Amino acid sequence: MKDDNFIINVNIGGFRFPLNIARKDEEIYRNAEKKANKVLTDNQKKYHQRSAEEILSITAFQIAVALSKAEIAKDLAPVIEKLNELDEEVLKALSD
């Protein structure tokens, strides 16, 4: 049903991304947003001399490592593909 989906705005590092998600998954997306911003903020403090792109790359890599550790027995190909898509979106947004 169409009513089962809605748009949320996710803010990662000051970049707003509207996402169309299933209502039942909203908490997952909100928690992921908080976790991604926590890692990003920590990296911005730790690597303040680095460019925004480097910090985002480090952050994406750290999140990917955490996912790999948590889901080592599962096939991560779809997750890695999505991370690459999101990384491309972030880099595009940074270049605009």
pLDDT tens digits, one per residue of 36-55:
999 999 999 999 999 999 99
Segment 49-74 mean pLDDT? 87
Choose among 13, 54, 12: nearest CA to 30: 12
- Assess whether pLDDT exceeds 60 at residue 2: no
- What is the SS3 assignment for 73? coil
Dihedral angle computed from the Cα positions of residues 18, 70, 45 and 83, in that order, rounded to the nearest 10 degrees: -40
Dihedral angle computed from the Cα positions of residues 10, 46, 60 and 25, in that order, rounded to the nearest 10 degrees: -30
State what percent of residues in the chain have pLDDT above 70: 91
Tell me, yes or no, if the pTM score tops 0.75.
Answer: no
